[in-house]
């Protein structure tokens, strides 16, 4: 009996230590206000980050009628359920107007909400984590200049176990590395700028990549396209694969796509990508050129080629 009690006590200690370690490793991360020294915000730069990030495409209640009315409400359907984009206008109650700068930075870089909750990665913080701290702070400053909307948020429609936010702590351990963008010294300043815009605020990989059963982007499917998460059609392969991707596109072709949505085949992008182009068209020619040059360097990965324009 004594040996059984010792075994039970040992097992209890192991379980307790394991539970404590699990809780520590999966706890929501935060950025402290003390990590944000005083500075003069660059509103124009914040607007650039806002545009390349396509914030209005998801968070504008009526993008065509009012692209800066960030009342939210866009339904993002997935195999896990339906996510509703929240109100991110400066409204102090319905939106994020009462959020501190540190709370905003925490959401963008750590995927943690104002109440200390894990945010769902339908908000693409796995890409936003690459942003520089100054760019996130400038984005926050720009968004404070936009009109407030009192549109209430809609709750996500998720079934068990996806409605348990604590499980996202495990997901983040697997797919959120917390690393900012690091320029490649072997590449030009222009290509590094393009890489930053594409991989960070532009979050192109979030749509144009294949994912595993847990919803994480696979290394072999990054930028190689895949099924549309909303269940209709597919997202094209934008890697440099000669057959399935865009290997025959020139830098100028990518540049024109980002400027006016035209393709080398004589067609124009539509649906969600048309809204992306409306945002990239607002960027400086230098930034569009940088993105185009970087896209031309994407490694070739087998996937599915978009259909020819009709």
pLDDT at 24: 45
Residue 8 counted as domain residue: no
Asked if residues 181 and 195 have their Cβ atoms less than 8 Å apart, the reply is: yes
Task: Provide the whole-model pTM.
Answer: 0.89
**Choice between 83 and 2, residue whose per-residue pLDDT is larger:** 83
Three-state DSSP state, 124: coil
Residue 77 confidence class, pLDDT cut points 50, 70, 90: confident
Tell me the per-residue pLDDT of 228-284, one tens digit each, with 9 for 90 and over: 766 667 789 999 998 889 999 999 999 999 999 999 988 888 888 898 999 999 999
Confidence grade of residue 305 (pLDDT, cut at 50, 70, 90): low
Per-residue model confidence (pLDDT) at position 13: 52
Pair 69, 55 in one domain = yes
Burial classification of residue 293, based on how many CB atoms lie within 10 Å of its CB (0-12 exposed, 13-18 middle, 19 or more buried): buried
Beta strands in the chain (DSSP E): 75-78, 81-84, 157-158, 226-227, 234-235
Task: Choose the final residue of a domain: 180, 201, 223.
Answer: 180
Q: What is the pLDDT of residues 117-143, one digit of tens each?
A: 999 999 999 999 999 999 999 999 999
Give the three-state DSSP class for 6: helix
Question: Do residues 205 and 280 both lie within one domain?
Answer: yes
In the chain, % helix, strand, coil (3-state, to 5) comes to 40, 5, 55
Through-space distance between the first and last CA atoms of the chain, rounded to whole angstroms: 80
Residue % of the chain over a pLDDT of 90: 71
Q: Which domain holds residue 63?
A: 39-180
**Percent of the chain having pLDDT more than 70?**
88
Query: What is the tens place of the pLDDT at every residue in 180-197?
Result: 999 999 999 999 999 999
Alpha carbon distance 39, 20 (integer Å): 38
Q: Of 198, 191, 295, 307, nearest to 249 (Cα)?
A: 295
Answer whether the bond into residue 161 is a cis peptide, omega within 30°. yes
- What whole-number distance in Å separates Cα of residue 53 and Cα of residue 260? 17
Domain assignment present for residue 30? The answer is no
pLDDT at position 247 = 93
Say if 235 falls within a structural domain. Answer: yes
Tell me: do 113 and 158 sit in the same domain: yes
Of residues 149 and 17, more confidence is placed in 149
pLDDT band at residue 310 using 50, 70 and 90 as cut-offs: very low
**pLDDT for res 228:** 77
Query: How many domains, in total, are found in the chain?
Result: 2
Do 306 and 189 lie in one domain? The reply is: yes
Please check the confidence at residue 78 and state whether its pLDDT lies above 80. Answer: yes
Confidence class of residue 294 from pLDDT cuts 50, 70 and 90?
very high
Q: CA-CA distance, 157 to 140, in Å (whole number)?
A: 28
H/E segment holding residue 104: helix 101-110
Same domain (yes/no): 121, 195: no
Is residue 33 within 8 Å of 261, Cβ to Cβ? Answer: no
Tell me which residue of 172, 152, 127 sits closest to 27, measured CA to CA: 172
Of 180, 208, 238, which one is at a domain's C-terminal end?
Answer: 180
Query: In this predicted structure, which of 8-22, 118-132, 143-157, 199-213 has the lowest mean pLDDT?
Result: 8-22
| CB neighbourhood size of 240 (10 A) | 18
Question: What rounded mean pLDDT belongs to the chain?
Answer: 89
Per-residue confidence at 303, pLDDT binned at 50, 70, 90?
A: confident
Could you tell me the pLDDT band of residue 3, with boundaries at 50, 70 and 90? low
Residue 22 lies in a domain: no
Q: Please list, residue by residue across 22-52, b when 16 or more beta carbons sit within 10 angstroms of its beta carbon and e when fewer do.
A: eeeebebebbeeeebeeeebbeebbbbbbbb
Task: From 145, 174, 177, select the one nearest 68 (Cα to Cα).
Answer: 145
Residues 47 and 176 in one domain: yes
Element (H, E) at 134: helix 133-143
The 3-class SS string of 231-257 reads: CCCEECCCCCCCCCCCCCCCHHHHHHH
Domain identity same for 166 and 222: no
Last residue of a domain, one of 180, 208, 229: 180
129 and 198, same domain (yes or no) = no
Measured CA distances, 218 to 25, 162, 201, 212, 247 (Å): 23, 20, 20, 6, 21
pLDDT the model gives residue 272: 84
Please report the pLDDT score of residue 246 as a whole number. 93
In this structure, are 173 and 189 located in the same domain? Answer: no
Residues 46 and 172 occupy one common structural domain: yes
Q: Are 309 and 270 within 8 A, CB to CB?
A: no
């Amino acid at each position: 009996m004594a040996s059984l009690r010792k075994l039970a006590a040992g097992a209890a200690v192991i379980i307790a230590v394991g539970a404590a370690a699990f809780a520590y490793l999966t706890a929501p991360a935060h950025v402290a206000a003390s990590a944000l020294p005083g500075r003069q915000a660059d509103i124009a730069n914040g607007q650039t980050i806002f545009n390349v990030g396509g914030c209005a495409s998801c968070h504008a209640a009526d993008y065509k009628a009012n692209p800066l009315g960030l009342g939210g409400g866009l339904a993002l359907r997935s195999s896990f359920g339906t996510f509703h984009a929240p109100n991110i206008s400066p409204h102090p109650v319905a939106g994020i107007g009462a959020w501190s700068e540190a709370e905003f930075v925490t959401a963008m870089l750590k995927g943690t909400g104002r109440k200390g909750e894990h945010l769902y990665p339908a908000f693409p913080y796995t890409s936003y984590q690459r942003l520089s701290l100054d760019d996130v702070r400038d984005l926050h400053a720009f968004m404070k200049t936009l009109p407030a909307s009192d549109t209430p948020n809609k709750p996500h429609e998720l079934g068990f176990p996806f409605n348990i936010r604590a499980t996202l702590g495990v997901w983040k351990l697997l797919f959120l590395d917390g690393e900012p963008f690091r320029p490649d010294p072997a590449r030009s300043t222009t290509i590094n700028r393009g890489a930053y815009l594409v991989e960070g605020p532009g979050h192109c990989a979030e749509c144009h990549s294949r994912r595993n059963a847990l919803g994480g982007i696979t290394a072999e499917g990054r930028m190689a396209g895949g099924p549309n998460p909303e269940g209709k059609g597919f997202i094209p392969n934008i890697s440099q694969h000669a057959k399935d991707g865009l290997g025959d596109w020139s830098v100028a072709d990518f540049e024109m796509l980002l400027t006016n949505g035209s393709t080398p085949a004589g067609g124009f992008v539509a649906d969600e990508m048309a809204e992306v182009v409306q945002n990239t068209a607002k960027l400086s020619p230098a930034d569009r050129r940088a993105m185009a040059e970087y896209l031309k360097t994407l490694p070739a990965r087998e996937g599915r080629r978009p259909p020819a324009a009709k």
